[in-house]
Structure 1
Amino acid sequence: MNASRPPGEGALAVPPSRWFARPRKVQDPALRLLCFPHVGAGGAAFNAWAELLPPGVELCAVRFPGRENRLHEPLLDDPGQAVDAVLAALLPLLDRPFVLLGHCSGSVLAYECARRLQLGGHPAPALVVVSSAEGPSVRHIADPLHLLPRAELLDRVVGYGGMPAQVLADPDLRAMVERLLRADYRVVERLHYSPGPPLTAPLTVIGGRRDRFVPEPALAAWAAETTAAFALRMLDAPHYLLADAGPAVAGLVEELLATLPDAEVRA
């Protein structure tokens, strides 16, 4: 690669509209909910939330290359390139109040984007939401999943609840999913958070009481990552809690929307 070429240049050339799934477009949104899915997933992971949100809120779910309508684009497996690319796509959407939300491994990217926005003097999120992920101070990658043998990698992901076991029965689908998982895990497992002070944006953590992988103390560790309000909401849910978290997120967004001065006009 040419040393002078900016990181993620190829991905940056993709129109920003291809980076986001918008299951319900809002012409003049009062608030945008910008969602980062777990590894291997696309923007469709959040589709069911669209009908739960208040009418003035637009859901924009990040869609990385190699899935959905970007199936034939090269995968991103470098954390620097991935964050640079998604930040470039995000910036045009920050003309309205916004929430950054990550689920599971997507929390790693959502939090790093929040850090980079703050360090770069860009608009700050009205709220950061992370779920099913341990706080940065207790996050240790001792056993990188992207280095596991195929069978162990796929079994581990099925165990998390984010992928149906039937995928393992189809050789072509299994190979495609393996490539996606390895690329995505390389990004989140090799990413080092940008240094600097804690966030000044409020931070809410959502966890599952039946999560066998991320215990409540690891979720509570996120409290150190903000100087603003912090909340931990535990649901009666497993590790993969998107379906259970939908109403909770809708409630958070509705509360936030009510605090915006022109929310009633746009809604």
Structure 2
Amino acid sequence: MARRQATLDLLVLPCAGASATMYLRWRRALPTWLNVVPIELPGRGGRSNEPYVTDFDSLVAKLCDEQAAALQGNFVLLGHSMGALLAYGMALRQRALSRPMPQLLIVSASAAPRCRSPERYANRHDDATLIADLRKQGATPDEVFAHADMLRMTLDTLAADYAVCASFPSRATQALALPVHAWGGRHDDIGQHAIEQWHHETRDRFSVDWFDGGHFFIRDRESDVLAALIRVLSPFAQGAGDAAVALA
């Protein structure tokens, strides 16, 4: 049987301290009508030789310019945690510049803009605090803590990303004229109210999926997450066909 051509591009943004590699498994697990486009941030992965960008607005502007070719046609923006804020910021910038808009914005494990507390990230740049955060979140492999160079890189990346989160603007913005779909973990520190407040950011449809687990349900409940993703994205794809997930 011939492989079905991709009809929907899914641009995905990583959480704080991570790289775009967190989404590489999705390429093998999702149907061929969905083209996963991991967006790498400066200072990590294949861009590790570039300086970090620590200001939210500057990083959003840079990503929109770099991804201009991908930010058109039939596409969706998705981000986890800090990545959700970046995806939201990119949608706002696309609108401000009268550029093509996504069909849908998916925000995962992120408090809505009106629920954010920038002071949460104040004075969180010393190694001891960053290491404590990494251990609490539970997403960092043990070998990272055992390898000095790997740990240094991880801590520097997390500190830079905390600066991005701290610089998230508190200015009021007009709600987006596109649907917004939120994901939350039932045992995440980010509670139900903070997730559901994303409904204020859209003049279109708003919906939520909840998953068992904490902040990294996106990894721990990957099969459930991808099944939910297919269900949500199928209406935006042309000829999606069979939407079965086959995790590698």
User: In the TM superposition, what is the alpha-carbon distance from 1:28 to its structure 2 partner?
Assistant: 6.0
Alignment of 1:230-245 (within 5 A): 230-243=206-219, 244=221, 245=225
User: In the TM superposition, what is the alpha-carbon distance from 1:159 to its structure 2 partner?
Assistant: 1.2
Q: Distance in 2 between matches of 1:149 and 1:175?
A: 12
Q: Is the 8 A contact 1:133 1:219 kept in 2?
A: yes
Q: Distance in 1 between matches of 2:57 and 2:215?
A: 27
State the partner residue of 1:10. Answer: none
| Secondary structure of the structure 2 residue equivalent to 1:207 | strand
41-50 vs 165-174, which deviates more?
165-174
Cα gap change, 1:100/1:165 in structure 2, threshold over 3 Å: closer, same or farther?
same
Show structure 1 runs of 4+ deviating over 4 A. none
* Equivalent position to 1:226, from 202, 218, 243: 202
Q: Does 1:115 align with 2:98?
A: no
State the partner residue of 1:198. Answer: 175
Q: Is the 8 A contact 1:97 1:126 kept in 2?
A: yes
Q: Distance in 2 between matches of 1:216 and 1:225?
A: 16
* Equivalent position to 2:17, from 19, 33, 40: 40
| Secondary structure of the structure 2 residue equivalent to 1:142 | helix
- Amino-acid identity (%): 27
State the partner residue of 1:249. Answer: 229
Q: Which amino acid aligns with 1:253?
A: L
Cα gap change, 1:49/1:250 in structure 2, threshold over 3 Å: closer, same or farther?
farther
How many residue pairs are counted as aligned between the two chains? 236
* Equivalent position to 1:93, from 46, 66, 70: 70
User: In the TM superposition, what is the alpha-carbon distance from 1:193 to its structure 2 partner?
Assistant: 5.8
| Secondary structure of the structure 1 residue equivalent to 2:120 | coil
Q: Is the 8 A contact 1:146 1:185 kept in 2?
A: no
| Secondary structure of the structure 1 residue equivalent to 2:165 | helix
Q: Is the 8 A contact 1:37 1:45 kept in 2?
A: yes
State the partner residue of 1:188. Answer: 165
State the partner residue of 2:136. Answer: 159
Unmatched 5+ residue regions in structure 2? 243-248
Q: Which amino acid aligns with 1:135?
A: A
- TM-score with structure 2 setting the length: 0.87
| Secondary structure of the structure 1 residue equivalent to 2:203 | coil
User: In the TM superposition, what is the alpha-carbon distance from 1:162 to its structure 2 partner?
Assistant: 2.8
Q: Is the 8 A contact 2:4 2:32 kept in 1?
A: no
| Secondary structure of the structure 1 residue equivalent to 2:128 | helix
Q: Distance in 2 between matches of 1:86 and 1:209?
A: 31
| Secondary structure of the structure 2 residue equivalent to 1:197 | coil
User: In the TM superposition, what is the alpha-carbon distance from 1:108 to its structure 2 partner?
Assistant: 0.9
User: In the TM superposition, what is the alpha-carbon distance from 1:236 to its structure 2 partner?
Assistant: 1.4
RMSD value over aligned CA atoms?
2.3
Q: Is the 8 A contact 1:203 1:226 kept in 2?
A: yes
* Equivalent position to 2:83, from 103, 106, 114: 106
| Secondary structure of the structure 2 residue equivalent to 1:252 | helix
